[in-house]
Amino acid sequence: MTDRFFRKIIQPSEKEDNSLTIQTAALILLREVAGADDHFSAEERTIINRLLHQEYGLDEKKAEALQAAAREERQKSTDLYRFTKLINDTFNRAEKIHLVELFWELIYSDNQLSAHEDRLVHDLASLLGLDHHELIEAKLAVRERKDKTRGEAAP
């Protein structure tokens, strides 16, 4: 499923104009989550860069262009509906859940969950048409992986 998710997200847009792409919409939401606690940490930047470079297959130049497009699109928008609508129109349920897992991964990168971060992910999950139990399952899956990774790193 992950391969299909990333193939879909990096497929070029069918429109060649400056319309919003699914890649930009997903990145905008990831950046929004990363900054929800008013601190866009180095770890959060690293995770987003890893997603763009390694998992999305974007080279540095394309990744920077996508980051610039995301910043520009977000500045032009007053809300997140346009971005979540595109994701709803493009992603299936499993892909949306995976995106929410990426949100939780960003949030837990600093081992803290602020009220703003929690509220934002709940709101985004709702806009993406996900049920509360799917949101919580995604959250717990990320925390479990993080705990397991931390346990493997311990002596």
Q: Please give the Cα distance from 96 to 8 (Å, whole number).
A: 12
> From the CB of residue 53, how many other CB atoms can be counted at a distance below 10 Å?
14
Q: Give the list of residues 6+ apart from residue 52 with CB closer than 8 angstroms, or none.
A: 27, 58, 63, 66, 67
Q: Please give the Cα distance from 34 to 40 (Å, whole number).
A: 6
Residue with tokens 């980051």: 67
Residue with tokens 């987003």: 48
Mean of pLDDT over the chain:
85
The model's pTM is 0.82
- The percent of residues above 70 in pLDDT, for the chain, comes to 83
Q: Please give the Cα distance from 113 to 96 (Å, whole number).
A: 21
Model pLDDT, residue 147: 87
Q: Which of 9, 35, 108, 29 is nearest to 73 (CA)?
A: 29
DSSP reduced 3-state for 59:
coil
Model pLDDT, residue 121: 97
Q: Which of 83, 85, 81 is nearest to 25 (CA)?
A: 83
Question: Quick one: average pLDDT of 99-124?
Answer: 93
**b/e map of 57-70 (b: 16 or more CB within 10 Å)?**
ebeeeebeebbebb
For the stretch 11-66, pLDDT in tens is: 544 443 346 889 899 999 999 999 998 888 888 888 898 888 866 788 888 888 99
Model pLDDT, residue 1: 57
Burial of 1 (0-12, 13-18, 19+ CB in 10 A): exposed
Q: Taking the domains of the chain in order of start, what are their residue ranges?
A: 2-153
Q: Would you put residue 38 in left (φ > 0), alpha (ψ -120 to 50) or beta? A: left
What's 2-153's CATH class? Answer: mainly alpha
